[in-house]
Structure 1
Amino acid sequence: MNTPFFASNPNITRPYALMDLDDTLFQTQRKIDAWNLPTTEPESLVCATVNKKGEPLSFMSQRQATFFNWLHASTDLIVVTARDRSEIKRVKLPFNSWQVLTHGAIILMSDGQLLSEWQQHMYDTLAPIQDKLSQLSELIKRHSANMHNDLVFAPHMDIFYDGSNESELTIYLAIKHAQKDHQILADLAKQLPVLIPDFDKHFYVHVNANNLAILPHGVHKRNAVQFLLDNYLDSQRPSFGFGDSLADLPFLQLLDWYGMPNHGQLHEQRHAH
């Protein structure tokens, strides 16, 4: 068998780029300063997201904007984010392919519609643990009230269909600290399995800076990406991705190539080892 040598081909097959958003493609001014990112002079910044009032919140450096422009023009850019359906609307970037949202609980098709097959699957995953999630909410609210420690608690919910019924289900619980005391969140993450019986059986915790998420095992970016790769993406086409946090690593490892920005949680962990 004669294996041919490489010959360049003018017909470009677009790879899939599966991208985490926050702290990978853009970040807040506070993080720009903390990470001392290059090409972030005020005149170089590009607004990437707005807050609930519509004011600029996160920014791309000139290099990040150039990188995003290249991705947008030459790949099928698939968003893989913890942001939910309302939070993604505050990202002011053009997306026109699949979107994996809410830590993997939601998949939107390129036309912005919910992928019904995944909706059904997530309904079956989330419906049985709604009681557990509400008990967990109560416990944490009581715990934080006793501690007086400025925890800001938010359940994330969405509408799911099981073919006949439409229900609003809680997907996961998010906790932030009002004064951005990351240590209090890190300590709470360690206490949860002790405070709550059978915690590890049903839930896992992801902490990154001022975000603590309590997630059911069935909700994971990796699960949603695996589903897309198995059922909807063209297996002949190459895939690569980037993410900044430990929670991104499992989905990134499904791809042909992956990387991380030279700042943030994954990068720091690599240095620590």
Structure 2
Amino acid sequence: MTQAITADRNEQEIDHATFTTLRRIVERETGIALAEGKRHMLQARLGSRLRSMGMTGFQAFLARLDEPDAHAERAALISAVTTNVTGFFREAHHFTLLAERILPPLVDPLRRAGRLRLWSAACSTGEEAYSIAASLHRVCPDIGTCDARILATDIDEQVLARAALAEYGAKQIAPLGAEQRMALFGSTGATRIRDDLRRLVRFRPLNLNGDWPMRGPFHVIFCRNVAIYFPRDRQERLWQRFGDLLAPGGWLILGHSERLTGPAAADFRCEDITAYRKIG
């Protein structure tokens, strides 16, 4: 019995060669550089997928990834390596900046038949995108009559499906004050995002390291706490690509551990905590 248990455990462990190959696939597909210390994390997160597929080990999973109809396995791998820590009005100073400084000058041109485009990149389960929508509604209560849209993208289609449902549990709602709950849900007891806010947001799958179908220009781009998982060269290329899609004077909002570096830095001014404005 002990030998059988040991053999089964070994089959469900990722050996060094398999992990090295998986790391290479992950970086190629997502831009995320997995450290050696993440082997056990990946093993634990993918274990249930292997069991549900009846696979005997990670080498079988690796072989499956090469098959043309392995979309579900590739999605499982992406979901396993992405970190989906988020929250409503997370890093609150960014939403104060958005409501008090960024959006007000954009409202009058918007009302005069203009357009407004914002992007929540790596939006996870949607809390950031809906917080942007609530901030926009606060500044412009008649936003529903204007040409305003929030694009919300993520590489993980599983979290996008949850975001589109717009239903949140007590754990996500509990940190909110009564005013924030009203702004997001319409009442303190509701658990689904208000209809008018949901209509502002479009959720789409997107790999930040792949091709982008959007042409812009965007007035504001949020990309927070995702590029820290990319190698520096990919980070700097990402900043350049965001810059190319931002309107002159547009804003790029990064996470608290991120800084705009590389060639793109010459095209921006730092205006607030990890908040950069495109020169021009």
> What's the TM-score once normalised by structure 1's chain length?
0.28
**In proportion to residue count, which structure has more strand?**
1
